[in-house]
Chain A
């Protein structure tokens, strides 16, 4: 499937039909919350016609894309993996959706995810857990587990996910695909249901560095509807991806290769570093001294932002309303208590606590100051190097149920990914092989603000040198 090129090897319609039957056959993975069978086929047929007539088609013509169900697609459900939004339909398209459609992509469905993108295993969805296509007893990672698993299982060409603390890179690593978190502000968040507004980013998953680059190129850019999106030119990632890696300076931060990192992951990354060195890259040992504080700062700040963002779900204007409440305040409380799942409640509680009178300075303000220290570490590092190589995760995919009853252990599985969101820099997961259990190993590459280009170049080189 993945090798077929639309218009050249097969018609769009036959490619979409093939994907639809694969989705049906792989139902047990629970990757999709909605499949747009008729709409996707219809769109494919009209693209085929457009192509036959010799009309110009868009940059993503025939590309079959799945969208994480925290992103709005007009007139279709937008559940965020939550019971509270079970019956909600989007009133408008997210900007990323408009941009995909404008370039003739075909949206095949919406993917499962942790409720409101909160989780590292995709076990927090109100609509059931997603299974890892590489091993059905393992988690696919989270929170964009459905998107990662759909791409890994060859149920679509690419998928959009969101990354607030690793929710693209970690599931990409666990499932064995490429997944990029762009620089904060590179991609508009308009139409994305907010989790932690100063951390949230949207990015693509793909089976090749080239497809990943193509999609990011299309969805990037300033958007009038998102005042935090950044107005600066979008490079042609789809072209620069092949520029090679010669003379790149690559930093290896010692803090990411200490106790707790699986030996097989470590060895596999060392091999990749050798390949890059042989190609003419300069490998430089660096230090990011505040790395060990990133999880604590991350969970203080993101839960605080989440507790404010999720205040809007009160049963008044949309979403679930408890039908038995006789008074307004009771309605708010009962709707929220019945509508939200366990992890979402836990984070709202934590966020409310760190923002509450008496604790604001000790936690929230302290977290913001540590965020500055972590950003400074990266600014200093990028004075010396072009990119930084780290593991994406400390272990390969863990078992279903293994961490679900221990929230802190689950939070610590994000140990290598959260610092990029605290700083706002881009990062990518590159699938670099398999461990002895036959589970995918992921390597993370981080770059300076707006230097996604370098991430794609390293990805492409390693993909081709396999």
Chain B
């Protein structure tokens, strides 16, 4: 298979996901199958092809560095799972 169980665990860690054992096996099979399908792209010689990251031409959009009102603090905190009224509150970091 294209992807090993160790790789699945490594990728899950990078993606901040915790998978159950059966999920690890399932994703190993499915990701392997999908990635094998994607190897189809190797049929194409793309050495001199410029990669395309955005479908229509865009340029940097600049604006003046001016102070503008933003949403009030109470609004911004309204959807938070936990706050102290002024800040987002999270479990301890260390």
Contacts and interface: CB of A to CB of B under 8 A. Distances in A.
Interface of A: 87-89, 91-92, 183-185, 198-199, 227-228, 230, 290, 292-293, 295-297, 299-300, 307, 311, 314-321, 325-334, 336-337, 340, 345-346, 348-350, 352-353, 356, 363, 365-373, 375, 407-408, 411, 421-424, 449
A319 B79 contact: yes
26 contacts: A88-B79, A228-B54, A230-B58, A317-B88, A326-B91, A327-B92, A330-B91, A332-B16, A333-B16, A333-B18, A337-B19, A340-B17, A345-B23, A346-B30, A346-B31, A349-B17, A349-B31, A353-B3, A356-B14, A369-B49, A369-B51, A373-B49, A407-B33, A407-B34, A411-B34, A421-B55
Interface of B: 3, 7-8, 10-12, 14-19, 23, 27, 30-31, 33-35, 37-38, 40-44, 46, 49-56, 58, 61, 71, 75-76, 78-82, 88, 90-93
B93 A328 contact: yes
Contacts of B37: 295-296, 408
A109 to B, nearest CB: 21
Nearest to B12: A349
A356 B38 contact: no
A228 B54 CA distance: 9
A332 B90 CA distance: 10
A185 B59 CA distance: 13
Contact of A424 (B55, B76, B82): B55
Given A327-B91, A352-B15, A369-B50, 4 more contacts: A296-B41, A345-B27, A356-B11, A368-B53
A317 B80 contact: yes
Most chain A beta-carbon contacts within 10 A, residue among B14, B44, B56, B92: B56
Contacts of B18: 333-334, 337
Contacts of B16: 311, 314, 329, 332-333, 336
B49 to A, nearest CB: 4
Nearest to A423: B55
A353 B56 contact: no
A267 B40 CA distance: 30
A230 B56 contact: yes
A302 to B, nearest CB: 12
B88 A316 contact: yes
